[in-house]
Structure 1
């Protein structure tokens, strides 16, 4: 059986803001088809790390390889074409546009050639069906409930047919029922894409992640399976709390 190469490799990545070392020598390897959770206390460097991966932030040093290609100097829009899609911690929909147009827009912007109308519509409908919003095509996005706005943003990412989908705090503000639906959605997405997930909800993390990377003060504190992370004394002290606190 042929060896499977990593989809994403981060090597000795550094990024500082003034005197703050937000990302301080991080190494990370993500395999194709994996659901990788990135967790840690507020200010640990999680959003900076994924901002570096998707190209929204430039590193001070280090390298980022995607499917064996060095993309460290590649601008964000070209990383999208390579197959990296990112959803923001705070919804970034266009409230005055319809649900359909919100999903169509990133597809049009990401392509270096024009997309036929039929192909565009097919791609938009497919993405909206996956998140359960196909019955709201003509509704202004700003009229959607908050949970549906988060799902719309996921659809915007899915419409790009990503190989790596980065979700930053996707369950923030969702109800218990919406979270349950989101977990099912991520499991479905992971059938044909790799997922990197920043999430504070530990029930979501433990149920979804194949592996978990724990950041603290811009460094990797621990990495392993959910069971290994739950049992790690250093992680308990820095983030999860001791068993007596549960």
Structure 2
């Protein structure tokens, strides 16, 4: 049985009377690709923001490799091994591709900065674009640059928020191959609305609905789950 690398117990976050995350228990196994899905407003982004330390929980506990990180801010969780790439690209547009990745690698204390940057860019196929100004890249390449920045942090857990949003079909295929190449050395947790991508890539899927876990299982189990079908997977009511 795979070891649990990241775990949440009773995680909760409310905004006024809205319970965005409502007592969620969650376990991420080391070396897996785990997808987090659910309708808009289900609490997905709030949940991963809690895991990464971008916001603080009202209740609950988060552990990374058995260590309690609940009280740690985001930058310290990065040092512990949690990297979170955002739904909207968060690059430095006026810096070169190399410098963007170098900033991430430097934050982890890389001794051979050029080597660390080269490895990260190589993993996403962007070695030839190192000198280009990041803001002049295509949208697809900007998403890959963001991923390279995440990889330069050498994370134990890489959280991807809508990574295929805005990508062309061919870019999505390349992205899938790239994500597969990351495991088992890196564990991937991704929020993704493209169900074809989810079913193709994920080893396990967690479904959130109204801030709670509706279901968890393999792609086949999730596809066959009546509660998930009713809430999310393309029934007439859900599509309305």
Q: Which residue of structure 1 aligns with residue 155 of structure 2? A: 162
- Map 1:135-214 → 2, pairs under 5 A: 135-214=128-207
- Map 1:41-120 → 2, pairs under 5 A: 41-111=39-109, 115-116=110-111, 119-120=112-113
Residues 77, 110 of structure 1: 8 Å contact kept: no
SS at match of 1:106: helix
* Cα distance in structure 2, aligned partners of 1:187 and 1:102: 24
* Cα distance in structure 1, aligned partners of 2:209 and 2:116: 39
* Number of residue equivalences: 239
User: TM-score, with normalisation over the residues of structure 1?
Assistant: 0.94
SS at match of 1:33: coil
| CA shift digits 1:205-240 (9 cap, x unpaired) | 001101000000000000000000001111111111
Residues 230, 237 of structure 2: 8 Å contact kept: no
* Cα distance in structure 1, aligned partners of 2:237 and 2:14: 36
SS at match of 2:95: coil
* Cα distance in structure 2, aligned partners of 1:37 and 1:46: 10
Alpha-carbon RMSD across the aligned residues, in angstroms, is 1.6
Residues 83, 164 of structure 1: 8 Å contact kept: yes
Gaps of 5+ in 1: none
Shift of residue 245, structure 1, vs aligned partner: 9.4
Residues 10, 23 of structure 2: 8 Å contact kept: yes
Shift of residue 191, structure 1, vs aligned partner: 3.1
SS at match of 2:21: strand
User: TM-score, with normalisation over the residues of structure 2?
Assistant: 0.96
Q: Which residue of structure 1 aligns with residue 223 of structure 2? A: 230
Call closer, same or farther: CA 1:13–1:244 in 2, change over 3 Å: closer
Gaps of 5+ in 2: none
Structure 1 moving runs of 4+ over 3 Å: 242-246
